[in-house]
Structure 1
């Protein structure tokens, strides 16, 4: 496509070239007449001699050789991670050691739409909202700790629907295997997480969990100033208030507004995708055994999109013993 401010359109180039080639004008005279440089006049007259009218169109600016172009094999890995794991450009880039903009271009070239435009279960494209999300982050570790409980059904012995399919899996789920109450605490600034698989969500359990979580954050050099929870009975109890103490401010979310505690809700989703439902476990003991490994990977090795590819440990140097 010709630039809007270009002195010559394809028709003008043709007239210039014909003046030189067919009418015998000197290139300098033709350049002055059409208001272009002598080099431009010679270029279009040479193309006219070689290709006639067909040579007056713009040529592709793409180089003949691109030695640093992303290989097809790496492009297939990018698309494979998008389809198999439903990762975004930034997370794929951190995993493969690429730049997020390069991954975005590859996904666009292969026709991969944004994850927000697809159904999580089927991957089919759906109508998406154009609402923009503005992320807020506290400036230092410990300024705010998000605390929440995730209820998760246990896997019956022999496996659930991921192993046997939906009909058999539903029958197995009726055996009364019970639930885990996963108590979570997430640092707002660093996304450092502390979680435990517990038997209930009673006030005594929540209070004891917070005491262990506070000790964990303290061991990483984090001084907790505020804690954010929902309005569950265990968090409104005197037991939990006593566990927090007088030095920590207790904040609560707005009723029926889980997005107020959005960072821990996002952690819950990551936990389900990358641990709870990541593979077909044969029993709950097998899945529970993998939980500490997931938590270590999340805190020390998993690059976070919100942290520009860094890990929580990168934002909490004392977690690795690098005291400063």
Structure 2
């Protein structure tokens, strides 16, 4: 458990609810490698996730006196400054009594160590940033007998597909190590605007995260010498070119169905890399073609066409090589099937 230095006095237990005083938390060995948001949500018992994300985004949370992001990973010995937090009794009661409805999701694989589910589009993986609850909270409600259910990684709310959930702490650490060391193979299916050039197979472009004035997160391609550049590598393969349905041909003459493998797991990496190449993902409401998106809705595509399709990994306990697949959702299959195939 972490060590807390604060006014009021030191405590080695999670705060519930958090006191209205500055806290300094020293990260222990057991928590090393955990995402900052997950670490704080676990430690600050009774504090709503929305508030945890708010103090991180605002810069009030500091690591070793510097700014830190929600998806940064803490290390043993890090000193985290947490600002004063006051909660009304009503907010405390609401935070301590979760109202997420019980929900199970289609299971692709499950054993005693972890499970892989097929996450639907439009469902957040966890509560926070304006979302009361997500996949993990609903699954915990649906499986009250489970001793541990923890997210191994993330998917954007708008993205469907494979999501891993650990059932043992040892499995959680082993799987997160694989993701952190880039030992997994993550492949997505994406339908993009235009005819993707066969020669463009590797996108090696640094990315930078920033905030809009309203606090919403965005990502952009930057020069390699940018002070906050994060190297990002994406591999692209064309599966099929398709003719747009009637009513869209005046806006675009070709769609390309792509197999996209990411070698780094940056926020919005696929969406930004493909858009920067001039081929936005259909239905993308952050980096896409907004006028085309409006027409796509009328044509039956009501979501972003990005799906986490295949994951290659090693079993966290046996070390056996595995390959998991989440079938393309029915609504996307039907939409692709409705279009004429063009010569590759």
* TM-score tier (shorter): under 0.3
Q: Scaled by the length of structure 2, what TM-score is found?
A: 0.22
Larger fraction in strand: 2
Larger Cα-atom Rg: 1
Larger fraction in helix: 1
Q: Scaled by the length of structure 1, what TM-score is found?
A: 0.23
